[in-house]
Structure 1
Amino acid sequence: MGPGGDVIAELAADHRELEALFSQIELQPVDHPRRRELADRLTAELVRHTVAEELHLYPVVREHVPHGAALADKELADHARAERMLKDLEDLSVDDPQFNDTIAKLKFEIASHVREEEHELFPKLAATLPPEKLDELGRLVRRARETAPTRPHPPLPNTPPAHSEPPRVR
């Protein structure tokens, strides 16, 4: 995922890809096995995306964006809800009625999260950081996505380990 640009372009491209995956799932017949394949791909891409945001975006938002701690906490809560849904989805077969319900709830959750990020968080970030720092953050996000897990782990904390340093973007 991602075009190789600054952090905002990277994450917005991820958002478009996630939206496209939801659309592909919806285009399949209700109990078609392809829905499972697409749901698994959606899960992997969404987990990579959230890990990259949690490792690199939100620590910078906390440090540099006015009221950034509250924004980051809200985004992390959104991620935790989505991760629980992904974990539930993992155990469902496409012929289970809960599969479709979970996909619909997840789509709503992700759409709301994307709107908030793109209309509130991203403009604040762009107004706070110079372009070269946004580019640097984009590189960090790309690298994190390459090595991120692809399965949800909701019981784990949504913050980096205490011994790790958040990225220093000044």
Structure 2
Amino acid sequence: MAQHKLLKHLHQEHQEVKNILRKLVKASESDRQQWLDQLRENLVPHMEAEEKHIYPALRQQGGEVKETALEGIEEHSAAKYVCKQLFDVGTSDETFKAKAQVLMELIQHHIQEEESEIFDDIEDSFSAQELDNMFSKFEQEEQSQKKKAKAA
């Protein structure tokens, strides 16, 4: 079965976030802010949209799918905690690079699990029409969150 456009979109965004994080970890102190801003505008809206329109639908499936979704939500919670620390600490703080590295590792782990387990759950649990609807709501939420991130 061909992968639904929702999953292709999520995968593309995962790749973008991983690239931003790699650049953030390697960035000189003077370049950190631009990558931090990119992270704020891409990662947080993506997580918020997943939590509002993908994870709740998976939780309703029950059983193992629900457990996997709950784990994904907890991984988001951990990532948001490290994000907040990273956003608050300042780019010249001696702990900045360590925090960025930890965030990158958390996100890489989460993406690997999401793409190897949750993507299959999504494809197995929903019809094409349901996925189209989920994708539409996801995109709307993400755009709303991106506007908030840029205003912050």
TM-score clears 0.5: yes
Match of 2:139 in 1: 142
Q: What 5-or-longer segments of structure 1 have no aligned partner?
A: 152-170
Match of 2:98 in 1: 101
> What letter is aligned with 1:10?
H
User: Matches of residues 18-167 of structure 1 in structure 2 within 5 Å?
Assistant: 18-29=17-28, 31-32=29-30, 34-64=31-61, 66-148=63-145, 149-150=148-149
The answer (yes or no) to whether the contact 2:58–2:65 under 8 Å persists in 1 is yes
Q: Tell me how far apart the structure 2 counterparts of residues 137 and 7 of structure 1 sit (CA, whole Å).
A: 8
> What letter is aligned with 2:7?
I
Between 1:80-89 and 1:131-140, the stretch displaced more is 131-140
How far residue 150 of structure 1 moved from its aligned partner, in angstroms, is 2.4
Match of 1:14 in 2: 13
Q: What 5-or-longer segments of structure 2 have no aligned partner?
A: none
The answer (yes or no) to whether the contact 1:25–1:35 under 8 Å persists in 2 is yes
Deviations 1:105-125 (A, max 9, x none): 000000000000000010121
> What letter is aligned with 1:22?
L
Q: Tell me how far apart the structure 1 counterparts of residues 149 and 74 of structure 2 sit (CA, whole Å).
A: 19
Between 1:107-116 and 1:7-16, the stretch displaced more is 7-16
**TM-score normalised by length of structure 1:** 0.78
Q: How many residues align?
A: 145
RMSD: 1.8
Q: Tell me how far apart the structure 2 counterparts of residues 121 and 65 of structure 1 sit (CA, whole Å).
A: 13
The answer (yes or no) to whether the contact 1:15–1:114 under 8 Å persists in 2 is yes
**TM-score normalised by length of structure 2:** 0.87
The answer (yes or no) to whether the contact 1:24–1:38 under 8 Å persists in 2 is yes
> What letter is aligned with 2:9?
E
Q: Tell me how far apart the structure 2 counterparts of residues 101 and 23 of structure 1 sit (CA, whole Å).
A: 12
The answer (yes or no) to whether the contact 2:6–2:132 under 8 Å persists in 1 is yes
Give the match's secondary structure for 1:150.
helix
How far residue 80 of structure 1 moved from its aligned partner, in angstroms, is 0.8
Instruction: Kindly indicate which of the two structures has a greater share of residues assigned to helix.
Output: 2
